[in-house]
Structure 1
Amino acid sequence: MESHKKRKSSKGQDMISNLPDFIIGRILSFLPTKYAVRTSVLSKNWTYKWTFITNLNFRDRVGYSSKIVRKIVFLSFVYRVLLHLNSSSIQSFSLDLFGKYESLHVDQWISAVVSRRVKKLWIKLYLISNKDQALPSHFLLRYRSLEELVLKVERCDIKVPTSALFPSLTLLKLSGIQFIGGPSNESGNVQLDFPVLRTYKTDECTWSSSLKCVTLEAPLLKVVSIENFRRRSASNNSYTVLKFCVSSLAEFTYKGYLLPETIVFDLSAAHIASAKIEVDIYEEEISVQENVALSSKLLKQFHNVEFLKFGKSEKKGWLAKDSLKDLPSFEMLSHVKLRNVIGETLLALLFKTPNLKTLIFQVFPQLAKDSLADLPTFKRLSQLNLGKVTGEILLALLPRTPNLKALIFVELLQFDQEQLNYDCVPDCFSTTLQVVKYLSFDGFEHELSFAKFVMENVVA
């Protein structure tokens, strides 16, 4: 009876309103900021509950449409929220602006949140009224609480000091930034320390010619991605070298033009698990000799990589045979993925990769059978994916892969079936080969003949 009375007396009681303000603030932080603020109309007791939120997100569009909120309304809302905020610290601040705003407003908003020790800062700006005014660099450099920084802007300047420490930053993603040096930095050298940084990504970011060498001390860095198809100005004949001081990288990606000012990284001291390269060239602006020199410089960065993928068509010429001539062997390289590559370049690359385990092509290049005669035996190669390949090339490669487990090709091109020599069956057929896969099988006579050859000689 007594428990029944207790249940009855508590019926209809507002339990949430009696929670501490900071807990209600945490709950409201899961809502978009505009909805959290609207809870102020629930009752007098809820008028200022929203001021304890710790996640702030502002977007100047209506819902998920491209319709922009009236500028005066949006500005008033952002300033009101920041003015009444009671949280001593902020977990995250997200600003997504599609409209045109004075950089003064952005400066004040950023200053307001970094003064409250914000941990995650995401800013996306499409247009700024005064493009000559740089975004403030103090929020990057003075505050040590920042753990994630994501900036996507339209060609804004940020001044970089001679040295700076980012003790808590784990994620750095930048887009559209022009880094400029200070007037006191006559040497042009900059050192930036990131003791706990894990991810570094830049897209269309450039460094002014006054900065000669930027060293990034990031011992725990795992992912680096650099994408830059922006051209330098005709008056800029110098470029900045980015030197990454890191012991081991899990993933490195480079996408950009094959021009001196875009090969701007130094990874010579790092062990790299995986690297992906996509480059383009201006054929009318670069000579054969320059192409060889730049290609060689680029590939030297990956002498100790384990997985190497070339993204664009290498038939454009950037990956030349002579680019590999003076390079050391890729002793640690075990996985290579190519789209298109010139035949002589492929041979030069294979001679540099004695420990391959996986070799993948989109289209295998045309090669004379005699050109494969001097190829070494790839004792560790277990997977061979040849894309479109002729039977002649295929039968020349198989004897050099004694431990092959999987043979995959998109299309087996027509070849002279007399080349199927039942007296000289590749060793892998009787020992290790487990999978032979046609990704495109049309039932042509040469396809059937090769399939028969495999089934009669492979030992299951």
Structure 2
Amino acid sequence: MDVSSQMERPKKQKLGGGEEMVGQRKGLSDLPDVVIAKIISSLPTKEAIRTSILSKRWEYLWTSIPNLEFYPGNAKRSLLVNVVDRALLLRGPSDIKRFRLRFPVLGDASRVHAWISAIVRRNVEDLSIELDSHKEPFSLPHSLLTSATLKVLNLYLPCSFKVPSTICFSSLRELSLCSVVFSDDYSTQQLFSGCPVLEKLSFSECNWENIKFVSICAPKLLSLSIDESELPISRGSNVCQIMVFGASLAYFYYSGQLLNDYCLCNSSVHEAHISIDDTKGSRLDSYLLHKLLRGLSTVKSLTIFHQNFEVALTGASELLAQMPMFNDLTTLIFDGSVIELDSMVLLRILQNCPCLRDLSFHEGVRLCSDDAKDDGMLDIPLPPCFSTSLKEIAVTEFCGNQNELRALRILLKNAIVLENMFVSYRGTLEGNTEKKRDLNKQISDLPKGSQSCEIDCD
């Protein structure tokens, strides 16, 4: 029997809307507009625009997608201008949820101003503007700075930032400013006073040279990040004093050259990262860092990039003795360089962390001199945490020389409530099974102040 004779012809079935399809197959172009728009919305903007050539019906569907991103790439600047113009001109009444634009302004400041105004009229919630190749002061549209829908604003503006007198970001939760040059005290103060519900604030390579003082009062602020590590300016005779009042502040990050005076007031920071770059260890450096640490006395987890941190903190020796107490600190991490166990900064911090539980040396630890007396902690009293709370010590980038083994010996002997020591070998020992086996034995044979301590070497 011919098998093909048993195959039935596909039956025509009607859809809910009365359309017919054959064998339950339907062309993509026959889908409802709302479904097609959802498909287009999942594409990158560049690909979404390309769908306009598929058919007459698809020609303008991309103009209603909620998220738009425009970057110059290798395209001509004139082409980017035309595409953005077309996207905003042809767009119907639908809102824009997220908008991203990177654009070399040159002489088109008024055009950019019009674009931003058009975006704001579409109730944008998440806006990222990166503008370069513009030398003159740039002013943002008043409508943007009084937007009731904007929740996230990322602004890259490497020129003087002109701020109007009226600012009210009533819904703004996240603000990120990159390479912004603040023009004067008053307008800068107006900017931060107009963000009553701000939760996340970040500055990256911003220039405060024209500012003497600014107060940032943000009762709902949870996260503050400051990165000045690549700022191509030197500190003048004056520094800008930036006072941050954030009772809810939980996370703080700083990386830079201590160009400004940052003061955290009435904060309850739980996690902090501090990295100091290119410091000469002046008295001013020491003062600024010491003041910053005082505002972080509530931290529970602190990461310190150590090398320049120590140089900066020892610029005024009398301040070292006034190191703030970190009574809530349970996790302390040193990164960025090998730590000398006899570092006065390290020992002073440990003295002031009575509840420390976890201590990590991400780039290793060593003791280059044999000054330890009876394996004690050198010439200072034993930090209280070594006898009451320190449960875990982690050492990475370990290569097994005598200076490193000497440091481990002192740590193990004095941490009398230690439960675990984790030692991770440097990548150069990978595959050297015999060397690692020998080091494992040397470490396990070290005397321990805590008989319940387990050592894990990897």
**Could you say whether these structures have the same fold, taking a TM-score greater than 0.5 normalized by the shorter chain as the test?**
yes
1:52-99 superposed Cα distances (whole Å, 9 cap, x missing partner): 2222221222xxxxxx32232222222122111113311111112368
> Are 2:118 and 1:97 aligned?
no
Shift of 1:297: 1.3
1:333 aligned to which of 329, 334, 340:
329
What pairs up with 1:8-407 in 2 under 5 angstroms?
A: 9-11=20-22, 17=30, 19-20=32-33, 24-61=36-73, 68-97=74-103, 102-125=108-131, 127-128=132-133, 130-136=134-140, 138=142, 140-153=144-157, 155-160=158-163, 164-181=167-184, 185=186, 191-207=192-208, 209-210=210-211, 212-219=213-220, 221-229=221-229, 230=231, 232=233, 237-249=238-250, 251-258=251-258, 261-263=259-261, 265-283=262-280, 287=282, 289-314=283-308, 317-320=311-314, 322-338=318-334, 339-341=337-339, 343-361=343-361, 362-366=363-367, 368-370=371-373, 371-372=378-379, 374-378=381-385, 379-386=388-395, 389-407=403-421
Shift of 1:113: 0.6
Shift of 1:100: 5.3
Q: Distance in 2 between matches of 1:444 and 1:37?
A: 61
Q: For 2:57, what is the secondary structure of its paired residue?
A: helix
On the 8 A contact 1:152/1:174 being kept in 2, the answer is: yes
1:343-397 superposed Cα distances (whole Å, 9 cap, x missing partner): 2222211111111111122343536214256213421111113456555544443
Q: For 2:11, what is the secondary structure of its paired residue?
A: helix
Closer/same/farther in 2, CA of residues 88 and 278 from structure 1, 3 Å limit: same
- Work out the number of aligned pairs and report it: 413
Q: Distance in 2 between matches of 1:344 and 1:23?
A: 66
Q: For 2:193, what is the secondary structure of its paired residue?
A: strand
Q: Distance in 1 between matches of 2:142 and 2:191?
A: 16
Report what 2:444 is aligned to: 451
Report what 1:442 is aligned to: 435
Q: Distance in 2 between matches of 1:86 and 1:199?
A: 32
2:299 counterpart letter in structure 1? V
On the 8 A contact 2:101/2:129 being kept in 1, the answer is: yes
On the 8 A contact 1:315/1:340 being kept in 2, the answer is: no
On the 8 A contact 1:157/1:177 being kept in 2, the answer is: yes
Closer/same/farther in 2, CA of residues 301 and 162 from structure 1, 3 Å limit: farther
Closer/same/farther in 2, CA of residues 322 and 41 from structure 1, 3 Å limit: same
Q: Distance in 2 between matches of 1:164 and 1:404?
A: 54
Residue ranges of structure 2 left out of the alignment (5+ in a row): 1-7, 427-431
Closer/same/farther in 2, CA of residues 134 and 312 from structure 1, 3 Å limit: farther
1:155-210 superposed Cα distances (whole Å, 9 cap, x missing partner): 1232345674322222222211112238xx49967642545433222210123534
Q: For 1:69, what is the secondary structure of its paired residue?
A: coil
Q: For 2:269, what is the secondary structure of its paired residue?
A: strand
1:19 counterpart letter in structure 2? P
Closer/same/farther in 2, CA of residues 156 and 244 from structure 1, 3 Å limit: farther
Shift of 1:151: 2.0
1:104 counterpart letter in structure 2? S
Q: For 2:286, what is the secondary structure of its paired residue?
A: helix
On the 8 A contact 1:208/1:240 being kept in 2, the answer is: no
1:274 counterpart letter in structure 2? E
1:337 counterpart letter in structure 2? I
Residue ranges of structure 1 left out of the alignment (5+ in a row): 62-67, 413-438
2:419 counterpart letter in structure 1? K
Q: For 1:10, what is the secondary structure of its paired residue?
A: strand
On the 8 A contact 2:246/2:264 being kept in 1, the answer is: yes
Q: State the superposition RMSD in angstroms.
A: 3.6
On the 8 A contact 2:293/2:324 being kept in 1, the answer is: no
Q: Distance in 1 between matches of 2:418 and 2:47?
A: 60
Q: Distance in 2 between matches of 1:5 and 1:386?
A: 71
On the 8 A contact 2:200/2:222 being kept in 1, the answer is: yes
1:324-355 superposed Cα distances (whole Å, 9 cap, x missing partner): 31133110111111244562222211111111
> Are 2:11 and 1:4 aligned?
yes
Identity among equivalent pairs (%):
26
Report what 1:415 is aligned to: none
Show structure 1 runs of 4+ deviating over 6 A: 186-190, 233-236, 443-447
Q: Distance in 2 between matches of 1:453 and 1:316?
A: 29
1:29 counterpart letter in structure 2? S
On the 8 A contact 1:53/1:87 being kept in 2, the answer is: no
On the 8 A contact 2:126/2:153 being kept in 1, the answer is: yes
TM-score under structure 1 normalisation?
0.77
Q: Distance in 2 between matches of 1:276 and 1:200?
A: 15
Closer/same/farther in 2, CA of residues 24 and 158 from structure 1, 3 Å limit: farther
Report what 2:429 is aligned to: none
On the 8 A contact 1:246/1:270 being kept in 2, the answer is: yes
